């Protein structure tokens, strides 16, 4: 076994890692789904628990030697339950998509109908998209946002729900700048007798901080990623506010001694869609949840939103059109149609200038998903770095320069220089510098 450090044992990959560290440190990370984990989370995620096989759940594993990983997983669950005010959590899903898959496998049978937000209107692949398992296995139908307001069109949701009687309604999405309207969805789900799932992959950090409404009182089941606003390691999680639904409503009695839906969900995760859990990541989730339980996290989450609102106002002042006219959250969706530039070109030019965003469909987009008419911007990562109001104004002015001069390499280069200067004030992982 090689125990010399990566730097000497595999210089090729060390170099790739080093370049990525430099990229993260010297560019502006505005992808709404990204964040920077704390150094303790990084330590745990990069630590020796990666060596452990622990198929099963704490106290009920298929492998020996699980004493300490059991402690870590139990802590992750306890902290998640406290953080979100829920009775049940499963912290094993490797990703948000796998959390969603386990929930769909639990609540919906192949061929059943699900109702989710249209991908082009801010939804997610796993909410029924035809290219995803959720659209291939289930009869998926979609609601959209209203053309004028950019908000979920609840007249349409109720119409579709009454017409199609979905087994499950999914609320939440990846590019929805406003609070998710859990209560409105709950009324509709009750009206038609559907289960209601909230996918808070994006907003879970804001929910944990108590700044975004909580789905727990309204939704039967909740999924999230742990790596977006929640600022943990890359992964997923499933929760239930109360574990009080009757499992016999969704499984045939022959399936044995099932007492609660939580057992069905646990079984859907493992062995349903996964094998061995990533114990290093589960332990890192516990570390991140511990951080999110501290009062500082509330301050952080509020700053994410303040920063997004400052940016939104600044964009509007500069003549940009924002879907829904602004934001309640960390997400801004810019409609670039009046700026004579596609999302694709904007993304490329911004990247050249050291600013990372993603092109994004806007509701009723006339361009393809590869071109798009919009870009999505988010503030979680730059807020983690410590940037505040004045920095937001500066960043919008830099973005504006790029959008107005997408092919002017000299201007792009000068923006890049300014980006680097700004980043210098907000060092990332100084702990790593000593090691390199």
Ligand X SMILES: *Cc1c(COP(=O)(O)O)cnc(C)c1O
Is 45 an interacting residue with respect to ligand X (CB under 6 A)? Answer: no
Give me the catalytic one of 167, 228, 376, 416. 228
Give me the catalytic one of 82, 234, 352, 394. 234
Report the candidate in 395, 33, 388 with the shortest Cα–Cα distance to residue 236: 33
x/- contact string, 191-210, with ligand X (CB under 6 A)?
--------x-xx--------
Single out the segment in contact with ligand X by CB under 6 A; choices: 76-84, 171-179, 258-266, 286-294.
171-179
Of the candidate residues 61, 77, 79, 124, the single one contacting ligand X (CB under 6 A): 124
Q: Is 228 a catalytic residue?
A: yes
Is 96 an interacting residue with respect to ligand X (CB under 6 A)? Answer: yes
Please state the closest distance from residue 260 (CB atom) to ligand X, in A: 25
Query: Which residue number, 92 or 310, has a Cβ lying nearer to ligand X?
Result: 92
Q: Is 384 a catalytic residue?
A: no
Please state the closest distance from residue 199 (CB atom) to ligand X, in A: 4
Residues 6+ apart with CB under 8 A from 375: 333, 334, 336, 343, 346, 347, 350, 357, 358, 359, 360
Q: Is 199 a catalytic residue?
A: yes
221-253 as b/e: b if 16+ CB within 10 A: bbbbbbbbbbbbbbbbbbbbbebebebeebbee
Of the candidate residues 35, 92, 97, 373, the single one contacting ligand X (CB under 6 A): 97
Query: Which residue number, 126 or 329, has a Cβ lying nearer to ligand X?
Result: 126
d(CA 180, CA 178): 6
Give me the catalytic one of 199, 314, 335, 400. 199
Please state the closest distance from residue 127 (CB atom) to ligand X, in A: 7
Q: Which residue bears the tokens 């999680």?
A: 237
Single out the segment in contact with ligand X by CB under 6 A; choices: 58-66, 92-100, 180-188, 345-353.
92-100
Of the candidate residues 140, 204, 225, 379, the single one contacting ligand X (CB under 6 A): 225
**Pairing verdict, β 374-378 and 358-360:** antiparallel
Of the candidate residues 35, 90, 95, 342, the single one contacting ligand X (CB under 6 A): 95
Report the candidate in 153, 157, 234 with the shortest Cα–Cα distance to residue 196: 157
Give me the catalytic one of 55, 306, 351, 418. 55
Q: Is 181 a catalytic residue?
A: no
Single out the segment in contact with ligand X by CB under 6 A; choices: 9-17, 169-177, 183-191, 370-378.
169-177
Is 274 an interacting residue with respect to ligand X (CB under 6 A)? Answer: no
The token duo for 142 is: 């979609």
Which residues of the shown chain bind ligand X in the complex (CB under 6 A)? 33, 95-97, 100, 124, 126, 172-174, 199, 201-202, 225, 236
Active-site annotation, residues: 53, 55, 199, 225, 228, 234
């Amino acid at each position: 076994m090689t125990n010399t450090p990566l730097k000497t044992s595999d210089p090729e990959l060390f170099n790739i890692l080093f370049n990525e560290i430099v990229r993260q440190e010297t560019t502006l990370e505005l992808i709404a789904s990204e964040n920077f984990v704390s150094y303790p989370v990084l330590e745990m995620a990069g630590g020796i628990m990666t060596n452990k096989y622990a198929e099963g759940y704490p106290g009920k594993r298929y492998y020996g030697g699980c004493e300490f990983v059991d402690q870590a997983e139990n802590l992750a669950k306890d902290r998640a339950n406290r953080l979100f005010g829920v009775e049940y959590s499963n912290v094993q899903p490797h990703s948000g998509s796998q959390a969603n898959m386990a929930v769909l496998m639990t609540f919906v049978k192949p061929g059943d109908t699900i109702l989710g937000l249209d991908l082009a209107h801010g939804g997610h692949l796993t909410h029924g998209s035809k290219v995803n398992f959720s659209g291939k296995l289930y009869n998926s139908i979609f609601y959209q946002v209203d053309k004028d307001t950019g908000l979920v069109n609840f007249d349409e949701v109720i119409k579709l729900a009454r017409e199609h009687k979905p087994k499950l309604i999914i609320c939440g999405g990846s590019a929805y700048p406003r609070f998710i309207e859990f209560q409105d969805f709950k009324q509709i789900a009750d009206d038609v007798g559907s289960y209601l799932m909230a996918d808070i992959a994006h907003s879970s950090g804001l929910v944990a901080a108590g700044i975004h409404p909580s789905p727990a009182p309204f939704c039967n089941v909740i999924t999230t990623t742990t790596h977006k606003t929640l600022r943990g390691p890359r992964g997923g999680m499933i929760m239930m506010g109360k574990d009080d639904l009757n499992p016999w409503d969704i499984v045939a009695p022959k399936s044995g001694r099932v007492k609660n839906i939580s057992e069905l969900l646990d079984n859907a995760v493992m062995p349903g869609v996964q094998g061995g859990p990533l114990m290093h990541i589960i332990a890192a989730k516990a570390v991140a949840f511990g951080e999110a339980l501290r009062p500082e996290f509330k301050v952080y989450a509020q700053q994410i939103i303040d920063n997004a609102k400052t940016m939104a106002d600044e964009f509007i002042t500069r003549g940009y059109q924002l879907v829904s006219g602004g934001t309640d959250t960390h997400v801004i969706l810019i409609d670039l149609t009046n700026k004579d530039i596609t999302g694709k070109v904007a993304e490329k030019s911004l990247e050249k200038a050291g600013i990372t965003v993603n092109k994004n469909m806007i509701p009723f987009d006339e361009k393809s998903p590869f071109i798009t008419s919009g870009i999505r911007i988010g503030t979680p990562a730059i807020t983690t770095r410590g940037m505040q109001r004045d920095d937001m104004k500066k960043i919008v002015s830099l973005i504006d320069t790029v959008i107005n001069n997408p092919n002017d390499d000299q201007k792009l280069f000068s923006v890049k220089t300014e980006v680097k200067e700004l980043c210098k004030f907000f060092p990332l992982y100084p702990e790593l510098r000593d090691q390199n």
